[in-house]
Amino acid sequence: MKLPRLLALVGILGFGLSLPAQSTVTTERTVEPPATVVQTRTTVGADGTSVTEKITTTTQREREAVAKTYSAAIVVSNRAGAKYDDQLAPLEDLLSARLADLGFQLVSRELVASNLRGFVPPGAPTDSESTRAAAAAEAALLDQSSALRLAQSLGTDYVLHASITSYAETQRNVTAYGQSLANHEFTLRVAYKILDAQGGGALTGDVVKAVRTEQGNAHASAEIGGLFADLLDDAAGQITTSLQGRIAANRIAAAKPAAKAVTITLAVEAADLFIPDIRINTENVVSIGESKLKISPLNATVEVDGVAVGTAPGSISLKPGFSHLRLSHEGFQSWERTINAVDGQTLSIALAMTESGLARFRESTAFLNELKNGAKLTDAQVKLLEGKAKSLENSFFKVETKENFRFLLPGLQNVN
């Protein structure tokens, strides 16, 4: 079995997408040369004495400009109905283009998804691990909670979430001066919010409304084909203006430091799968014990929130708190759970074999059932058995067995 090449989203993106820098605050101080002003004032006293005063004033102006950048992943969603799903990409493009001048360094869903799809080997079947992992990560970018995890993996400090909340078309018929007129009003509402990538809390947000009115009569009707694009552009412009005001008012709090990753251990075994405890001593005599030996699959692919992060059994590092964990291995049914990750945690996971996987396993271990208790084997027979055991090991299975015997399957521990 070849492991999927999508072992880490950050590693994938490194081939074709530069990750954004962290959010920054840059202070620029400007000091003007001193300006000197001399004022002369003459006064005459009661005794007729003239007194002249010279007042010299030196002014030095200092200006301090603060420029902020915001590293953010942009996520767009549609709550107005499936027929508007194809408007998400244009909305994302409009926001990305307009907000760049406000200091937003945005990681686009489309660019990330494109890199994920490009990393799938050419000709890979649609049900292959690499294809499935790419699709899962792409889908995760459309979900707010998963987008937070991916934003953390990408190293961004914020998530900009924009959603098409509603779209309505209203027609009002008016009859006046012998004319029947139809007023068409098109209304698009888009909500946005800035989320802290670490905690997920909303820092600021707003709802904008783009409206377009067209009028028609029996001889002239409104052309509405391109109206939605205009409404999206208008909404993106209003969001930019809204965010500009919030930035000026310091409504976007400083990014929280990234939470320290926790390490959990994944102990994997095959559910209800055993082989006989067969031992061959130095005299080539077969001994079959009463106990059974467990089978443990090796190199199961581990995904956290749709992103492949390593293999099991073993340890992985992830953000503390809730995550969606998925394990997959050729010949086994996938295992999925939502976990609350705590440092030092150990999860015992039993993978159930598929019917085809079980058939292959029975075929590869059939030679064990042919051995008889107390039988004496030739050196050639022992060598043949060792070769079959090695073949089983290369199938990414670990078989627990005892030490101090010439015939050892992979592993060194008896479960009973």
Domains belonging to the chain, first-starting first, are 9-23+67-248 (3.40.50.10610), 262-399 (2.60.40.1120)
* Per-residue burial over 11-45, b = 16 or more CB atoms within 10 Å of its CB, e = otherwise: ebbeeebeebeebeeeeeeeeeeeeeeeeeeeeee
The residue-averaged pLDDT of 152-169 equals 88
**18 pLDDT band (50/70/90 cuts)?**
very low
SS3 265: strand
How far apart, in whole angstroms, are the C-alpha atoms of residue 213 and residue 171?
Answer: 10
The residue-averaged pLDDT of 381-398 equals 73
Q: Is the pLDDT of residue 311 over 50?
A: yes
- Looking at the DSSP assignment, which residues form a beta bridge with residue 339? 323
**394 pLDDT band (50/70/90 cuts)?**
low
- Looking at the DSSP assignment, which residues form a beta bridge with residue 326? 303, 336
Highest mean pLDDT: which range of 98-102, 130-134, 225-229: 98-102
Q: Is the pLDDT of residue 231 over 90?
A: yes
User: What is the model's pLDDT at position 364?
Assistant: 77
Q: Which of 97, 101, 96, 111 is nearest to 19 (CA)?
A: 111
How far apart, in whole angstroms, are the C-alpha atoms of residue 282 and residue 284?
Answer: 5
The residue-averaged pLDDT of 113-139 equals 54
Q: Which residue has the tokens 């990753």?
A: 261
User: What is the model's pLDDT at position 336?
Assistant: 94
DSSP string, 208-262: EEEEEEEEE-SS-----TTHHHHHHHHHHHHHHHHHHHHHHTT-SPPPPPPPPPE
Q: Is the pLDDT of residue 372 over 90?
A: no
List the structure tokens of 310.
């390593």
Of the candidate ranges 47-61, 229-243, 304-318, 370-384, the one whose mean pLDDT is the lowest: 47-61
Q: Is the pLDDT of residue 416 over 50?
A: no
Percent of the chain with pLDDT over 70: 73
* Higher-pLDDT residue of 150, 211: 211
Q: Which of 4, 170, 187, 2 is nearest to 80 (CA)?
A: 187
SS3 369: helix
Q: Is the pLDDT of residue 173 over 70?
A: yes
Element (H, E) at 293: strand 286-297
CA atoms within 13 A on the CB side of 31: 3
**15 pLDDT band (50/70/90 cuts)?**
very low
Q: Is the pLDDT of residue 86 over 70?
A: yes
**349 pLDDT band (50/70/90 cuts)?**
very high
List the structure tokens of 123.
């000709």
Q: Is the pLDDT of residue 401 over 50?
A: no
Pair 142, 109: CB distance under 8 Å: yes
Highest mean pLDDT: which range of 52-61, 196-205, 282-291: 196-205
Q: For residue 101, give the DSSP letter.
A: G
Pair 215, 190: CB distance under 8 Å: no
The residue-averaged pLDDT of 59-76 equals 79
Q: What is the pTM of this model?
A: 0.59
Q: Pairing between strand 321-328 and 50-59?
A: unpaired
The residue-averaged pLDDT of 134-154 equals 62
How far apart, in whole angstroms, are the C-alpha atoms of residue 143 and residue 81?
Answer: 16
Percent of the chain with pLDDT over 90: 27
Q: Is the pLDDT of residue 260 over 80?
A: yes
Pair 12, 153: CB distance under 8 Å: no
- Looking at the DSSP assignment, which residues form a beta bridge with residue 315? 265
**368 pLDDT band (50/70/90 cuts)?**
confident
